[in-house]
Amino acid sequence: MSEIKISSIEMKSVLESLFTKHSFTKAQATVLAKTHTESTLDGIYSHGINRVPAFIDYINKGLIKTSAIATKTASMGSMERWDGNLGSGVLNALTCTDQAINLAKNHGMGLVALKNTNHWMRGGTYGWRAAEQGCISILFTNTIPNMPAWGGKENRIGNNPIVIGIPRKEGHVVLDMALSQFSFGKMQSLDLKNEELPFVGGWDKNDKLSKHPKDIMDSGRALPVGYWKGSALSMILDMLATLLSAGNSTYKIGLKNNETALSQVFMCIDPSSFSDTEIQHNLLNEIIQFTHEGPSMKKGDQTFYPGERTLMTRKKSEIEGMQVNAKIWEEILLLLK
């Protein structure tokens, strides 16, 4: 499939017009366009530009309420519960991230649990946002059932993404990972390029482990990262998100036949609450330097800390533009008509 080069300015302009057309306010459309564009700039096409058609489809189906905003339902000092009211997952997540940051600035630590929200797109967006405000963050969401629990055959757990962000002067550290070996968005991106996965990523319809993205997407059964460990972690995150938000579990989400009304947790810590910020900075760099200086398996290879390659991709994309799948871009332009 051919690709075309798109600048961030052009992408933001097109997406802002598209989101405004679908009843978001000008301010909301600007934020959504910026978020999808920045994800694409960072090389996360699967949850940036490639996800836009599905986002519009959910709006057209009434699963995403463009007029809805998140509202606070309970406050317990440094902890709060919010209801997303089935609004945009991105707008809801930004609201709750900012509130968790505010709580952390006031209490040292803040937690916001959100129910009834939609897909937050790239979870790393909120880890980077918290880091820019000087906060450590631990964020996670549950999903529709899309993985078998280890030893099982049917999908009973989600690939529940988790994000951990740590602010750092030389470049923030941001881990953003789903609990499937490969996210379904990543598999879609590789399928669009007719590429295989580098490692097995799930089961095909014949219960065989496969590297073919389409086979796994057709079966809907992804492989948990770390096998039984990823399976257990998925269950734990689902439990925490459900209990803390008093929202839907992966089981309840699966009954809806669409990935909507999710539960999410946004926890932020303000490290400046401690008096040893310089020591923190030195310790963080010590860990990164020790990892970087280790020998590589192959000549020319190197190790990276979480988020390091994202920063490199962002810089390159800002200079050279983004290589966007032509079919996806054409689909988006048609949605504007």
Percent composition of the chain: helix, strand, coil (DSSP 3-state, to 5):
45, 20, 35
Between CA 106 and CA 77 the distance in angstroms is: 10
Structure tokens at 7: 């600048």
- Residue of 33, 29, 26 whose CA lies nearest to 49: 33
Catalytic residue among 22, 36, 47, 119: 47
- Beta carbons within 8 Å of 103's beta carbon, 6+ residues apart: 78, 79, 80, 109, 110, 111, 112, 268
- Residue 98 identity (one-letter amino acid): D
**Residue 234 to residues 46, 123, 206, Cα–Cα distance (Å):** 21, 16, 24
Q: Is 271 in contact with 280 (CB distance < 8 Å)?
A: yes
Q: Is 85 in contact with 230 (CB distance < 8 Å)?
A: no
**Residue 323 to residues 3, 49, 196, 300, Cα–Cα distance (Å):** 6, 11, 19, 25
Residue 212 bears catalytic tag: no
Between CA 63 and CA 119 the distance in angstroms is: 11
Structure tokens at 64: 């995403």
Dihedral-angle region of residue 107 (phi above 0 means left; psi in -120 to 50 means alpha; beta otherwise):
alpha
Catalytic residue numbers, as ranges: 47
